[in-house]
């Protein structure tokens, strides 16, 4: 009899807890959907075009999930841009409401320089409970991976072909001021001390494979400025390729190869691994005094 009573009490407790959790889930799901609807209306009121699939928050009981379908956003203002995805899903776990898990396919960003594309974008974005009070605090943190990335026509990384993988984990530091367009907002952020902290990043485009960390910012022309520390395979082959394609003259190529060969050490597999520091400035990637490669120009 006592066992039956205990079992009955446990059953009642589980029903009460289950009901309470269900109430919590549906309440939060409703607030999240309200937030999405309000954001869409806010963007449309500002003159931007937003198109997402109709739907509501799903994923009960272990997630809050919104399938946006084939999503598109057209930004107006000083610099027009189009952001689109063939499919996009955002997910939040009930026990961590500050982290958004992102899954997108056939992603593209179009603007003045052309179209940037990625076959897939996956990862997470962490949004602090309180906005940053200064530039020592993060606006958001991210851990994202893009695969099969292509740059606009006429731009290249190591080659003009797709970048096999591009991953980054880091944080955007400091508040971004309100402004009529993206360019003015970024200018205000950069001029006040905003930086992009890369706690780790990975890049793969044959013959180069690199991993490292660093800090990036924007100069007065809103172009990349920063310092990176790399551990890379295929650096000598990359220097030779850049020289072959006319992007590095013979003198600088020779100096770069001497530097690379002096820094190269065998890794655990016996492959040449180069630990090197790079700087980004004046529209180029530099190794010491050597212009290694041009940077794609960003048009905000």
Domain boundaries defined on the chain: 1-111, 156-300
Rounded CA separation 40/43 (Å): 5
Residues composing the chain: 300
Q: Is it the case that residue 14 has pLDDT exceeding 70?
A: no
pLDDT at residue 17, rounded to an integer? 65
Residue located via tokens 């000598």: 236
In whole angstroms, give the CA distance from residue 204 to residue 162. 10
Alpha helix (H) residue ranges in 46-170 = none
In tens, the pLDDT along 142-153 reads: 999 999 999 998
For 184-195, what is each residue's pLDDT tens digit? 888 899 988 999
Determine the Cα angle at 285 with ends 136 and 281, to 5°: 55
- pTM value? 0.87
pLDDT on residue 22: 83
């Amino acid at each position: 009899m006592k066992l039956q009573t205990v079992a009955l009490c446990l059953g009642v407790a589980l029903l009460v807890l289950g009901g309470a959790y269900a109430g919590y889930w549906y309440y939060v799901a409703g607030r999240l959907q309200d937030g999405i609807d309000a954001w869409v209306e806010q963007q449309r009121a500002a003159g931007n075009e937003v198109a997402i699939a109709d739907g509501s928050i799903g994923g009960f009981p272990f997630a809050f999930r919104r399938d946006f379908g084939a999503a598109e956003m057209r930004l107006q203002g000083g610099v027009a841009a189009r952001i689109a995805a063939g499919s996009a899903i955002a997910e939040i776990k009930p026990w961590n409401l500050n982290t958004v898990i992102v899954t997108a396919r056939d992603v593209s960003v179009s603007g003045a320089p052309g179209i940037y594309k990625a076959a897939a974008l996956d990862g997470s974005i962490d949004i602090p409970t309180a906005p940053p009070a200064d530039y020592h605090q993060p606006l958001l943190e991210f851990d994202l991976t893009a695969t099969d990335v292509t740059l606009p026509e006429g731009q290249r990384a190591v080659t003009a072909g797709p970048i096999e993988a591009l991953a980054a984990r880091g944080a955007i530091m400091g508040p971004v001021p309100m402004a009529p367009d993206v360019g003015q907002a970024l200018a205000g952020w950069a001029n006040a001390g905003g930086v992009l902290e890369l706690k780790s990043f990975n890049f793969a485009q044959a013959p180069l494979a690199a991993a490292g960390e660093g800090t990036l910012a924007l100069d007065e022309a809103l172009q990349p400025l920063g310092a990176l520390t790399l551990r890379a395979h295929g650096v000598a082959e990359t220097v030779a390729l850049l020289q072959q394609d006319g992007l590095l003259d013979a003198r600088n190529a020779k100096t770069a190869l001497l530097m690379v060969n002096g820094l190269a050490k065998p890794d655990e597999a016996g492959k040449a691994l180069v630990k090197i520091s790079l700087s980004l400035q004046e529209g180029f990637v530099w190794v010491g005094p050597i212009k290694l490669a041009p940077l794609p120009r960003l048009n905000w």
